Amino acid sequence: MRTNSVTVALRGGALLFAALFTAACVLAGCTPTPGARSASPAQRTSVRIATLKGPTGVGMVHLMQAEDAGTTANDYTFAITDAPDDVVAKVASGDVDIAAVPTNLAAALYAKTSGAVQMLAVNTLGVMYIVTDGTPVTSMADLKGLTIYASGQGSNPEYVLRFLLQKNGLDPDTDVRIVWKSEHDEVATLVASGAAGVALLPEPFVTAVTVKDPKLSVALDLTKEWARVVTDGSQLMMGGVIVRKDFAREHPDAVTSFLAEYSASIDEAKSDAGTTSALCAQYGIIPSAAVARQALPRLNLTFLTGAELKAGLEGYFRVLYDANPKAVGGSLPDAGFYYTT
């Protein structure tokens, strides 16, 4: 079966996380929180948001709680799914206004919709890790001669892994053996059973296996490995939020309010692990509050916009494009992809 660029991006997005922030307050120089609803009912805008379960959605949970409490500047409705193709369909049909998705899927949607979406913010850096059973691995170079179990062949995990191996002087085809499995949970099962000594896994699968077996540990954080070898200022930016361009044009104040509230929500997610993990379970973002709490430090939650977002994403997209143009929609996004106020 032939695969188009959105299919390839979907596959990469699903593997990640299967994980993707009031104007007056910004102008006043204060830090807004998902709390005081400042706009009158007549001024509030209805904003439809879709988010994937997993790391991409974690930063949204305090905003969800604030909406339930009736304390947000806008009126938000949330569609939460574990199927990236559901989000693609909702965005393409105009059924949602804002969506939290893997960044490469955002690029593919930009191409698919002829520029009808824009990148608002990055909400997560990389969530991929090398996990070992005690095998001594302290650098990418230490993987030489080893067998690595992974899932995500033909998508982001493969492209990032191969890039980092090459940057560390290793040939991914001859210096290591990569055994590709179809799903992350299959790799996690092999690791937990002792059948796989070295594996590439994303959160929250990393936490799920390491809490069960003290012999298993994180050897390498691919986000840090990326930062160590690149020279173009790029970052491993794997999750973000997009907006329909028409909605942003018609409701710029609502977008400004959303970004402020979303940023505050992410700050709360990073600073209050107990409440965040409980909310993750409550809203179905991560099923287990215990797993969510232990995974949070490795989810690399962030909030990046504007020039910093653009500088970080362009190099990452270039790596994906060089590996497979379909991973970013067939072409690198132009300047119109990046939202500016």
Q: What is the pLDDT of residues 128-152, one digit of tens each?
A: 999 999 999 999 999 999 999 999 9
Indicate if 152 and 164 belong to the same structural domain: yes
Contact 11, 324 (CB under 8 A): no
Of 12-16, 137-141, 336-340, the range with the lowest mean pLDDT is 12-16
Indicate if 246 and 258 belong to the same structural domain: yes
**Structural domains counted in the chain:** 2
Neighbouring C-beta atoms of residue 265, cutoff 10 Å:
28
Element (H, E) at 261: helix 252-271
41 — pLDDT class (breaks 50, 70, 90): low
Q: Phi and psi dihedrals of 94, rounded to 5?
A: 80, 15
Indicate if 61 and 188 belong to the same structural domain: no
Residue 187 half-sphere exposure, CB side, CA atoms within 13 Å?
A: 30
158-198 pLDDT per residue, tens: 999 999 999 999 999 999 999 999 999 999 999 999 999 99
Indicate if 207 and 246 belong to the same structural domain: no
Structure confidence at residue 243 (pLDDT): 98
Alpha-carbon Rg for the chain in angstroms: 19
Q: In what order do the strands lie in the sheet with 147-151?
A: 177-181, 147-151, 198-202, 128-132, 217-221
Domain extent, residue 10, equals 5-126+236-337
Whether residue 219 has pLDDT greater than 60: yes
| Percentages of the chain per state (helix, strand, coil), in multiples of 5 | 50, 20, 35
Indicate if 142 and 224 belong to the same structural domain: yes
Structure confidence at residue 40 (pLDDT): 52
Average pLDDT of the residues in 44-71? 96
CATH code of the domain in which 81 resides: 3.40.190.10
Amino acid at 120: L
Indicate if 14 and 120 belong to the same structural domain: yes
